[in-house]
Amino acid sequence: MKIEKNYSKGEVNRAGLNLLNNIRPEYAEAKGILDNWRACHVAPLNSFQISLRNKLKIIDGDALISQRLKRSPSIISKLERNSKMLLSRMQDIGGIRAVTGSMQNVRALEAAYKKGTRAFSVVQGGKDYIIFPKDSGYRGIHLVFKCKNGFSIELQVRTQIQHAWATAVETMGTFLDHSLKSSEGPDEWLDFFALASSAFAVLEGTPRIPKHNSLTDKETFEKLLEMERRLDVINKLAGFRVVARHISNDKKRGQYHLVTLDLDLMKASIQSYSAKDIATANEEYSKKEAEITSGRKMQVVLVSSESIIGLKKAYPSYFLDAELFSKQIKVIKKRLEKIKG
């Protein structure tokens, strides 16, 4: 089922301003406009995913693919950080991600989309956060495309190691109640994850965060492991995973999954919807976000994934699972032992 666009770009932009400024009583109407605008990104996302799967069959058949509609709090937060941004021009409301097995595959996929596709043109706004990592330590490739009906989508490409870092940051940020990925929160945690990113970059042979360039590989690893021990990072992350281990699933097969992490009950749940029920899925997404606005302590996201197993791999932070990150810390311990001889 295709969702029709019900509002002009001018109306969408005014809605964005009303949401940003929390203007009442226009807020409820503005949220409805945002919901419709966001839902209109489903069709172009689905179309792009077909192209992405075809390319990855050749480049990396084991790559993980997932797509999501950006959460309302994240949309409003982005408008707050970028005072000149208009809601209708936000390029990552519809996002699709490919997690590959190596840097070689990341670059091969990037090259495959250099000229876009027949249905999607490449637009300005892409970023190479691997050559130029963010200060937070975030690494990955962002490419922006526009389809013929004018909607933009963002493709994120990252390695499994980069994915492990990003999802661990989100998991820890959830418990610290700070957006660590946006460089907000306690300095000691921001410093730890920034250093972890540089250490992971050493493993992959890619640039570190510039402030760590003066450190040798040995110093980078030693400093990271010392911080990990002091902050008790691995044990904390493991503890989070235990308390969220009970995951309910409605057992229905579907293309779309509404994932809710209830931080009061420490429980993750999944509601699945078929392609024809995408409108209902978006309605439920909006209802859950309204609960968050009213003070409910939870996180919710609407994503597409081939299976529940794939979903957990693509969005482990919604299941408070940072096992992949912990494994990379073990790799660094072994690498340090080799360096020391």
Per-residue pLDDT tens over the stretch 154-164: 999 999 999 99
Helices 278-293 + 72-81 axis angle, to 10: 60
Question: Quick one: pLDDT band at residue 194, thresholds 50, 70, 90?
Answer: very high
Under the banding of pLDDT at 50, 70 and 90, the label for residue 10 is very high
317: pLDDT confidence band, cut at 50, 70 and 90?
A: confident
Across the range 266-287, mean pLDDT stands at: 89
Find which of 109-123, 167-181, 267-281 is predicted with most confidence, using mean pLDDT. Answer: 109-123
HSE, CB side, 13 Å, CA atoms: give it for residue 3.
Answer: 25
Domain architecture of the chain: domains with CATH: 9-159 (3.30.460.10), 247-319 (no CATH)
- Tokens for 12, please give them: 């969408």
Q: What is the mean pLDDT of residues 180-209?
A: 96
Model pTM above 0.75 = yes
Confidence check: pLDDT of 23 > 90: no
Q: How far apart are CA 101 and CA 128, in angstroms?
A: 18
Query: Does residue 244 carry a pLDDT above 60?
Result: no
CA distances from 211 to 130, 145, 195, 197, 217 (A): 15, 32, 9, 12, 14
Give residue 106's pLDDT band: very low, low, confident or very high (50, 70, 90): very high
8 burial level (CB within 10 Å; 0-12, 13-18, 19+):
exposed
Q: Is the pLDDT of residue 4 over 90?
A: no
Q: Give me the pLDDT at residue 243, please.
A: 55
Q: Which strands, in side-by-side order, build the sheet including 141-147?
A: 120-128, 141-147, 152-159, 94-100, 64-69, 298-304, 256-262, 267-273, 247-249
Mean of all residue pLDDT scores within the chain: 91
| Local confidence band at 250 (pLDDT 50, 70, 90 cut-offs) | low
Give pLDDT, residue 269. 85
Is pLDDT at 308 greater than 80 in this prediction?
A: no
Q: What is the pLDDT of residues 76-99, one digit of tens each?
A: 999 998 888 999 999 999 999 999
4/13: higher pLDDT: 13
| Residue 245 pLDDT > 60 | no
Instruction: Supply the pLDDT for residue 263.
Output: 84
% of the chain at pLDDT higher than 70: 96
Structure token pair of residue 96 = 């699709």
Q: Report, as an integer, the average pLDDT of 125-144.
A: 96
pLDDT for the residue numbered 252: 56
Question: What does the pLDDT read at residue 97?
Answer: 96
pLDDT at 326: 95
